[in-house]
Amino acid sequence: MKGRRRLRLLIALAACALALLPGAALRAQTPPALALNPSLDYTDTRDVSGVPSITAVELGRLLGATRFWRADLRKLELRLAAHRLVLTVDNPFVLVDDATLLLPAPVVLKGGEMLVPAALVEAMADAPGWPRLVHDPRRGVVLVVPPGGVVGTPQFRHGEGVTRVTFPADREGGVSIAGRARSRFRLRFDGVFTGNLPDSLPGTSLVRGVRAIPAVQGCAFEMTVAPEAEGFRVVRERAGQVTIEFRRQRVAGDEGFAPAGPAGPRAISLVVIDPGHGGVDVGAHAEGLQEKALTLELARLLRDELAARMRVRVLLTRDDDRTLSAEQRAEFANRVRADLMLSLHFDAFEGTRAVGATAYCPPATAPAGEPGGAVPDANWTMRPWRDVPFTHAVQSRALAEALLSALELRGQGPTRLRETLPYPLVGVDAPGVMVECATLTSGADRARITRSDGLRIIASTLADGIEAYQRNE
Amino acid sequence: MRRVFLGLLFFAVLAWVAYQWSRVSVPRVPQSISADSIAAGMKTVRLFFVATGADSLLVEARELPQPQNLHATAAALVAELDRGPREGGIAALPAGTSVLNVYSDARGLLVVDLSRAFLQGFRGGSTAEYMAVASLVRTLGANMPEVQRVQIVCGGAPLVTLGGHVPLDRPLEIAEWVDERTF
């Protein structure tokens, strides 16, 4: 009797677990909500008889102005240095310095609060001396325009074998490619996005879909590019706009897309992390920071991060300050049969404005070298030690893309990718990437690294990238 | 007293006229013309330096006397790289780098034996290393059309890597270093 009851209990528990699993999976797949960067200064709008409005108090706060209330005249004056803005209750006219602006609805007093139509911020966009505000009706906010400016609604134009996507952007230099895969082509802008995106695109377009994705700084977009597209380029031909051209046939000057590997999640059970340099090899150094110490600390943090998030075994090529040759590192990764290898480094270049992160991966085009081949009367093939990384070039590139995309979206950029075999990966028989996580000679990067949680954030970001690579995003 | 003053004035005017006449009668000869006609011919070379953002190379044209042989060509190019840019950018080669010997074969391989300063003077990370190699390889490739591959050795000994990031154990294909994917 007891055995039957236990069996029923087990069956009931299993049924509950099965019922919960799809929900859990669905929750895991749900993309995070597009939220405003917490560093932005903004206020929510309210609906007043169909007109989006903000309170005069919030308007004064965003403008950094001092408020003066004249109860007898029912007027509120906002002063900022020599500038003044006058709002009158039940009046659609607003005085901004010497100009009078007409709003689509009057300023109203409701519940003891003065409510101003959000259209005011657009009307006074060109008013000199005032901080620039912008109304984002999609999110229902009015916000202070950040130094990166504003990115507006993109326009899609389709021609013969080419699709042009043009973004109005205050800072046309503030755009970077955060992912080159056709299935997840990612762009990041320094500015805040206040426009709208189309729900669908015509079948003739080389861009099949576009959506906004979260980014720590500025805004980011993810596009689905048609498989027949061969190249793309970023064009900054006019001030105030950035155009991305996608071409069916690649022409000189175009960049190529990341090669696509097999679909579906990748099986990763063992990750080897290689803290660069060590022992007598200090690596790069600047302002008291030593590359060998930073890479070791970062490697330990990344090991803990991966172990906590993923069901993988993580091994370090060195867990102390010792000298290792590149051959020893590669031999270690091959002996433990690593599923991927990540060689951690920090860059330096004195006397330049070099900044940000760089990933190196072996190029998909194998170099001219000694050919390997099948060994007679044996069921194995022989490959030159040095050329082994080239057999993993496509997966290595995908790993590099995933890591750089994560770094770019978490504000650890600018990022760049170099497709050339890095020395620490020579002889490694696994997908691998060498990542220069930051540039020690850059003051901005040093400040980012040396803050109390600086290396932990980089470790978390790299773990994001490895997870994305495993999910095959 | 008046006579003395007039005499001095006369000599001063005479000296000024003589000076002006000498300037007019001996025109300046452009330096390039004299060099071209007296010694060897001048050749425009293209040198690659690093942009200040260290994310690309800048090309700078410079006039050099036509070298007489392979060694002189490579040595002159490396010497100009070591002198640094004149039109902006940053020198990529470690300071003091020079060419000790040069060898070539019929298949477009150029072996450049650089002085020990190339290895000993190197400072920085992978970008500095990458740019040093790129600057050298692209400069040699751009000015020596017969060269397709460059093998770097240092002080007469093989060089595996400069700073632990770029493998130098094999000849470097110039075509790969021109590819936009690497920048």
Domain ranges of chain A: 42-144, 150-256, 270-365+382-471
Residues 6+ apart with CB under 8 A from B119: B94, B154, B155, B159, B162
Minimal Cα–Cα distance from A117 to chain B, Å? 45
Same domain, B134 and B124: yes
Same domain, B68 and B95: yes
The predicted structure's pLDDT at residue A34? 40
Q: Flag the least confident range among A229-233, A255-259, A317-321, B158-162.
A: A255-259
Give pLDDT tens digits for A413-464. 888 888 889 999 999 999 999 999 999 999 999 999 999 999 999 999 999 9
Percentage of chain A exceeding pLDDT 90: 43
Residues 6+ apart with CB under 8 A from A96: A83, A85, A124, A127, A130
Q: Which pairs from A320-325 meet CB under 8 Å and 24+ separation?
A: A320/A296, A321/A278, A321/A279, A321/A292, A321/A293, A321/A296, A322/A278, A322/A279, A323/A278, A323/A279, A323/A280, A323/A281, A324/A278, A324/A279
Closest CA to A271 of A221, A337, A211, A223: A337
pLDDT of A296 strictly over 90:
yes
Topology, domain A42-144: Copper Amine Oxidase; Chain A, domain 1 (3.30.457)
The predicted structure's pLDDT at residue A378? 64
pLDDT band at A24 (very low <50, low <70, confident <90, very high): very low
Q: Which CATH architecture has domain A150-256?
A: Sandwich (2.60)
Q: How far is CA A327 from the centre of its chain?
A: 34
Q: Which of B127, B151, B152, B168 to mutate to test the interface with A (most CBs of A within 10 A)?
A: B127
The predicted structure's pLDDT at residue A200? 85
* Distance separating alpha carbons of residues A359 and A404, to the nearest angstrom: 7
CATH number corresponding to A270-365+382-471: 3.40.630.40
The predicted structure's pLDDT at residue B21? 63
Answer whether A352 sits within 8 Å of B52, measured CB to CB: yes
The predicted structure's pLDDT at residue A291? 94
Answer whether B125 sits within 8 Å of A363, measured CB to CB: no
Considering only CB atoms, which chain B residues are within 8 Å of A358?
A: 126-127
Same domain, B35 and B122: no
Answer whether B54 sits within 8 Å of A349, measured CB to CB: yes
Nearest chain B residue (CA) to A291: B125
Answer whether A418 sits within 8 Å of B169, measured CB to CB: no
Answer whether B124 sits within 8 Å of A369, measured CB to CB: no
pLDDT tens, position by position, for chain B (183 residues)?
Answer: 677 777 777 777 777 776 766 554 444 433 433 344 444 467 788 899 998 888 888 888 888 887 888 899 999 999 999 999 998 889 999 999 999 999 999 888 999 999 999 999 998 899 999 999 999 999 998 888 889 899 999 999 999 999 899 999 989 988 777 654 444
The contact set of A with B (CB < 8 A) is 253, 255-256, 276-277, 281, 283-284, 291, 326, 345-355, 358, 360, 363, 367-369, 386, 416, 418-424, 426, 434, 436, 439-441
pLDDT band at A33 (very low <50, low <70, confident <90, very high): very low
| Residue-number span of the structural domain to which B46 is assigned | 41-182
Nearest chain B residue (CA) to A436: B126
The predicted structure's pLDDT at residue B22? 54
The predicted structure's pLDDT at residue B129? 93
The predicted structure's pLDDT at residue A307? 92
Give pLDDT tens digits for A341-353. 999 999 999 877 8
pLDDT band at A394 (very low <50, low <70, confident <90, very high): confident
Percentage of chain A exceeding pLDDT 70: 86
Same domain, B80 and B117: yes
Same domain, B136 and B77: yes
What value does the CA radius of gyration of chain A take, rounded to a whole number of Å? Answer: 28
Of A346, A350, A426, the CB nearest to B167: A426
Tally of domains in chain B: 2
The predicted structure's pLDDT at residue B24? 46
- Out of A31-45, A248-262, B20-34, give the one with best mean pLDDT: A248-262
* Strand partners of residue B57: B50
Q: Which of A257, A352, A446 to mutate to test the interface with B (most CBs of B within 10 A)?
A: A352
Q: A219 or A436, which is more confident? A: A436
Residues 6+ apart with CB under 8 A from A44: A54, A140, A141
Answer whether B126 sits within 8 Å of A345, measured CB to CB: yes
Same domain, B77 and B116: yes
Same domain, B141 and B129: yes
Same domain, B30 and B109: no
Give pLDDT tens digits for A46-72. 999 899 999 998 898 888 888 888 888
The predicted structure's pLDDT at residue B69? 87
Averaged pLDDT for residues A401-421: 89
Q: Which of B129, B135, B160, B165 to mutate to test the interface with A (most CBs of A within 10 A)?
A: B165
Considering only CB atoms, which chain B residues are within 8 Å of A424?
A: 164-165
pLDDT band at A273 (very low <50, low <70, confident <90, very high): very high
The predicted structure's pLDDT at residue B67? 80
